[in-house]
Chains A and B, each alone.
Chain A
Amino acid sequence: MSARRIAADVRAGTRSARDVLEEHLATIAAREPDIHAFNLVLADEARAAADAVDATVARGDDPGPLAGVPIALKDNMCTRGIPTTCSSRILEGWRPPYDGTVVERVHAAGAIVVGKTNLDEFAMGSSTENSAFGPTHNPHDLTRVPGGSSGGSAAAVAAGFAPLALGSDTGGSIRQPAALCGVVGVKPTYGVVSRYGLIAFASSLDQIGPFAASVEDAALLLEVIGGHDPCDSTSIARPAPALLADLDESVSGLRVGIVDEMTEIDGIEPKVRDAVRAAAAGLEAAGAKVDTVSVPSATYGISAYYLIAPAEASSNLARYDGVRYGLRVDAEDVAHMNAATRESGFGPEVKRRIMLGTYALSAGYYDAYYGQAQRVRTLILRDFERVYEQFDVLISATSPTVAFPLGAKTADPLAMYLCDVCTVPANLSGHPAMSVPFGVGEGGLPIGVQVLAPALGEATMFRVARAIEAVAGKTQS
């Protein structure tokens, strides 16, 4: 059942939040042992919250637009008094002294937090295999990855554990797992959603966004979490985007570009490419004007991304020093304590990125690597801005492949990084992008089509995504 339906029924008093929750907890009890979407299921807290929502309705008050809707939170979002681990040993057992802004907003809207979801440690990865607590399995095929880094959130929605989830997207960490798990995943414009209380990975790229089973439910959630927050200085001084009102407006007359560099790429599965073309054909049939377009610098996205993101991460993760929170491994003096703590607390991928970032920022290499990557970022931004003068939205593949088997890429970091080839450009440009399920590929596994839009173009992006969703529905039925 959709989030919008649940909220409407709970607000009208025709269903209780508690009943809705119990149904979802039963689904979790049945399938979570095989999937491992969660680091922590908050059954008791969720029951208390659901009862409070029902009491609000009984009093004749409105609990809010997400009344009684179960939601799963990626475990890199601070929840007051509730362990927040980033799937890292270095934060195991830590209980944040405050709630992140998005957490406050979903609570205030009446949503019921059912658990904290698994992720690649510190959101660094594309398969959720880098979690210190073991991988999440794809609900469509338990031998395959759910994608990452927000693999737990994507799997939770795909498995019916919650109709909604929140993830964070630094280089594709919402969109790629959404594609691999067959759900909708959105990375809003940088600054639309507050990052206050999101544990930082790469601050100029990180953005929180929704997962849902439908475009409409994703819109509902983004309307709740978006909007200015004085606690995040990079937050845009505007209210949340209005998305639901125009969601079903026609796409007739919209100019849609298929991005060559993010669709016609080496290693892309033919059925994924076909899905992008079929989605484009569907939009054309609905009256949109479709053409192919080139964003030449997008080819350099991965290279720039894997310099910029580790550089920012190496700085952000300097705070895990064994002094103020989390793990400490004792040693004779502070410097050795810092180094022993970090060696013991961080997993291999986090260490690899810290090393890469520290190197890229170090004396003698700064300009050749980090400086050059930031200038290339400008070129990518300019290319997109130029293309958006001619097109209202762009479409492409989200992931070049469907979900791959667990373990297939763990031995080759570079192969794993290349999973993000279609998604990193929108993080570098700061523009919004989302993934919509569109049919199935090899092995009957879900395919995602990506819709991209210019800065603050969420309303148009969602309309196009809604139209693609409708085409996908017709194709499947």
Chain B
Amino acid sequence: MAERITRGDVEHVAQLARLALTEQEVVALTHELGAILDHAAQVSALDTHDVPPTAHPLPVVNVFRPDEVRPGLARDEVLAAAPEAQDQRFRVPRILGEEP
């Protein structure tokens, strides 16, 4: 039987999920995700033709709050929790390939 999950799949998904997995983790996850998905694939045994998906267990309609000005979180307090902040903003390493 063909493997459900290949090493390439794991590397691709890790890239999407922004996880710098170790070699050991890639090997383990290739095996584990395959086993879990084999079990999860039991859902495909059910005929769901014409069955709508449930994204939410109870019927909900759009919920609006009153359009009133309310205090938000204190900026200083929020920035104090950041790994790095500068000039009232979150500071991050360079985003594109340019030199700083």
Binding site for B on A (CB under 8 A): 94-95, 97-98, 189-191, 204, 230, 233-234, 236, 297, 300, 302-304, 306-307, 314, 318, 321-328, 330-340, 342-343, 346, 348, 351-352, 354-356, 358-360, 362, 368-369, 371-379, 381, 413-414, 417, 428-431, 455
Of B39, B51, B78, the contact of A306 (CB 8 Å cutoff)? B39
Residue-wise, chain B 44-67 has the 8 Å CB interface mask toward A (1 for contact) of: 111010011111111010010100
Once the chains bind, are B43 and A97 in contact (CB under 8 Å)?
no
Question: In the complex, what residue of chain B is closest to A205 when comparing beta carbons?
Answer: B57
Binding site for A on B (CB under 8 A): 5, 9-10, 13-14, 16-22, 25, 29, 32-33, 35-37, 39-46, 48, 51-58, 60, 63, 65, 73-74, 77-78, 81-84, 90, 92-97
Once the chains bind, are B10 and A355 in contact (CB under 8 Å)?
yes
Once the chains bind, are B33 and A378 in contact (CB under 8 Å)?
no
Most buried by A among B22, B40, B92: B40
- Residues on B with C-beta less than 8 A from A360 are 40
Once the chains bind, are A381 and B93 in contact (CB under 8 Å)?
no
Question: In the complex, what residue of chain B is closest to A455 when comparing beta carbons?
Answer: B58
Known contacts A300-B42, A332-B94; decide if A377 and B54 are in contact (CB<8 Å).
yes
Q: For the A-B complex with A356-B33, A417-B36 known, give 17 more contacts whose Cβ atoms are closer than 8 Å.
A: A97-B78, A204-B56, A303-B40, A304-B43, A314-B17, A323-B90, A324-B90, A331-B93, A333-B96, A333-B97, A334-B93, A355-B14, A355-B19, A362-B13, A374-B53, A375-B46, A376-B48
Bound-complex Cα distance A211 to B5 (A): 40
Known contacts A334-B95, A352-B29, A352-B32; decide if A303 and B43 are in contact (CB<8 Å).
yes
Of B19, B41, B44, B60, the contact of A342 (CB 8 Å cutoff)? B19
Once the chains bind, are A97 and B94 in contact (CB under 8 Å)?
no
Once the chains bind, are B43 and A333 in contact (CB under 8 Å)?
no
Once the chains bind, are A204 and B55 in contact (CB under 8 Å)?
yes
Once the chains bind, are A190 and B81 in contact (CB under 8 Å)?
no
Once the chains bind, are B44 and A355 in contact (CB under 8 Å)?
no
Bound-complex Cα distance A333 to B96 (A): 7
Query: What are 14 A-B pairs with beta-carbon distances under 8 A?
Result: A190-B57, A323-B83, A324-B90, A334-B92, A355-B10, A355-B14, A356-B37, A359-B5, A359-B9, A375-B52, A378-B51, A413-B36, A414-B39, A430-B58
- Residues on A with C-beta less than 8 A from B63 are 233
Closest 10 CB pairs of A and B: A430-B57, A374-B53, A328-B83, A375-B48, A339-B20, A343-B20, A233-B63, A377-B54, A358-B17, A303-B42
Of A97, A297, A343, A359, the contact of B81 (CB 8 Å cutoff)? A97
Bound-complex Cα distance A339 to B57 (A): 34
| Chain B min CB distance to A46 (Å) | 24
- Say whether chain A's binding surface is mostly helix, strand, loop, or mixed: helix
Of B19, B44, B48, B92, the contact of A339 (CB 8 Å cutoff)? B19
Once the chains bind, are A98 and B73 in contact (CB under 8 Å)?
yes
Bound-complex Cα distance A378 to B53 (A): 6
- Residues on B with C-beta less than 8 A from A352 are 29, 32-33, 36
Bound-complex Cα distance A190 to B55 (A): 13
Once the chains bind, are B44 and A372 in contact (CB under 8 Å)?
yes
| Chain B min CB distance to A152 (Å) | 24
Known contacts A234-B56, A381-B54; decide if A355 and B13 are in contact (CB<8 Å).
yes
- Residues on B with C-beta less than 8 A from A351 are 19, 21, 25, 29
Bound-complex Cα distance A335 to B13 (A): 15
Bound-complex Cα distance A304 to B48 (A): 13
Most buried by A among B25, B58, B65, B78: B58
Bound-complex Cα distance A431 to B57 (A): 8
Bound-complex Cα distance A355 to B20 (A): 12
Once the chains bind, are B39 and A335 in contact (CB under 8 Å)?
no
- Residues on A with C-beta less than 8 A from B65 are 230
- Residues on B with C-beta less than 8 A from A331 are 93
Known contacts A234-B60, A307-B40, A381-B54; decide if A343 and B92 are in contact (CB<8 Å).
no
Once the chains bind, are B53 and A371 in contact (CB under 8 Å)?
yes
| Chain B min CB distance to A147 (Å) | 21
Known contacts A302-B39, A337-B93; decide if A359 and B84 are in contact (CB<8 Å).
no
Once the chains bind, are A323 and B82 in contact (CB under 8 Å)?
yes
- Residues on A with C-beta less than 8 A from B84 are 328
| Chain A min CB distance to B57 (Å) | 2
Once the chains bind, are B94 and A334 in contact (CB under 8 Å)?
yes
- Residues on A with C-beta less than 8 A from B92 are 323, 334, 337
| Chain A min CB distance to B12 (Å) | 8
Bound-complex Cα distance A306 to B32 (A): 13
